[in-house]
Structure 1
Amino acid sequence: MPQFLLNKRLILLLVGVILLVALIGFSFKKDRNLSWPEEFIQDTTGLVQSVFHRPAQYVAGFFENVNDLLTTYEENEILRSQLNSYMQLEERIQHLELENKKLKEELNIMNEKDLSDFESIRATVYVRNPDQWNDLIKINKGKIHGVEKDMAVMTAKGLIGKVKSTSQFTSTVQLLSAPNRENRISALITTEKAAVFGLIEGFDTELKALEMKIIESDTEIKKGDGVTTSGLGGIFPKGLPIGEVIKVEPDAYGLSKIAYIKPAADFYNIEHVMVVKRDMPTVDINDTTEEEEEE
Structure 2
Amino acid sequence: MPQFFLNKRLIILLVSIIILVALIGFSLRDRDQLTWPEQFVKDTSGWVQSLVSRPAHYVAGFFENLQDLQNTYQENEVLKKRLDNLARLEAEVHALNKDNEELRETLDVQGSLRSYEPTQAIVIARNPDRWHELLVINKGQANGIESDMAVITSKGLIGKVKNTTPFTATVQLLSSLDPKNRVSAVIQGEKNLFGTISGYDEEEGLLLLKGIPFDAEVKEEQVVETSGLGGVFPEGLQIGKVERVVPDEFGLNQTAYVKPEANFYDIKHVMVVERGMTQPPEGELTEGAEEEEL
Q: Is the 8 A contact 2:116 2:274 kept in 1?
A: yes
How high is the TM-score relative to the length of structure 2?
Answer: 0.55
Looking at structure 2, the residues matched to 135 and 281 of structure 1 have their Cα atoms a distance apart, in angstroms, of 28
Q: State the partner residue of 1:119.
A: 117
Q: State the partner residue of 2:129.
A: 131
Q: CA deviation at 1:255?
A: 1.8
Q: State the partner residue of 2:53.
A: none
Paired amino acid for 1:189: I
Q: State the partner residue of 2:261.
A: 264
Counterpart mapping for 1:34-53 below 5 A: none
- Structure 2 unaligned spans of 5+: 1-89, 98-111, 280-294
Q: State the partner residue of 1:216.
A: 213
3-state SS of 2:129 partner: helix
Paired amino acid for 1:185: V
Q: State the partner residue of 1:163.
A: 161
Looking at structure 1, the residues matched to 250 and 138 of structure 2 have their Cα atoms a distance apart, in angstroms, of 43
Looking at structure 1, the residues matched to 146 and 199 of structure 2 have their Cα atoms a distance apart, in angstroms, of 23
**Is 1:239 equivalent to 2:202 in the alignment?**
no
Q: CA deviation at 1:217?
A: 5.8
Looking at structure 1, the residues matched to 276 and 186 of structure 2 have their Cα atoms a distance apart, in angstroms, of 20
Q: CA deviation at 1:231?
A: 0.1
Q: CA deviation at 1:150?
A: 0.1
Looking at structure 1, the residues matched to 225 and 240 of structure 2 have their Cα atoms a distance apart, in angstroms, of 7
Counterpart mapping for 1:144-159 below 5 A: 144-159=142-157
Paired amino acid for 1:197: F
Among 140, 143, 148, the residue aligned to 1:142: 140
Q: Is the 8 A contact 1:153 1:161 kept in 2?
A: yes
Q: CA deviation at 1:256?
A: 1.2
1:159/1:264 CA distance change after superposition, 3 Å: same
Q: Larger relative contact order (C-alpha < 8 A, sep ≥ 6)?
A: 2
Q: CA deviation at 1:281?
A: 5.0
Looking at structure 1, the residues matched to 194 and 264 of structure 2 have their Cα atoms a distance apart, in angstroms, of 24
3-state SS of 1:267 partner: coil
Q: Deviations over 1:224-248 (max 9, x none)?
A: 0000000000100000000000000
Runs of 4+ in 1 over 3 A off after TM superposition: none
Q: State the partner residue of 1:174.
A: 172
How high is the TM-score relative to the length of structure 1?
Answer: 0.55
Q: Deviations over 1:96-136 (max 9, x none)?
A: xxxxxxxxxxxxxxx99x89810011000000111010000
Paired amino acid for 2:233: F
3-state SS of 1:163 partner: strand
Could you say what the CA RMSD is over the residues aligned between the two structures, in angstroms?
2.2
Q: Is the 8 A contact 2:194 2:212 kept in 1?
A: yes
Q: Is the 8 A contact 1:196 1:217 kept in 2?
A: no
Looking at structure 1, the residues matched to 156 and 225 of structure 2 have their Cα atoms a distance apart, in angstroms, of 9
Q: CA deviation at 1:254?
A: 1.6
- Structure 1 unaligned spans of 5+: 1-110, 283-295
Larger radius of gyration: 1
Counterpart mapping for 1:1-295 below 5 A: 117-191=115-189, 193-216=190-213, 218-281=215-278
| Percent identity (aligned) | 52
3-state SS of 2:240 partner: strand
Q: CA deviation at 1:218?
A: 3.2
Paired amino acid for 1:142: G
Q: CA deviation at 1:216?
A: 2.3
Q: State the partner residue of 2:33.
A: none
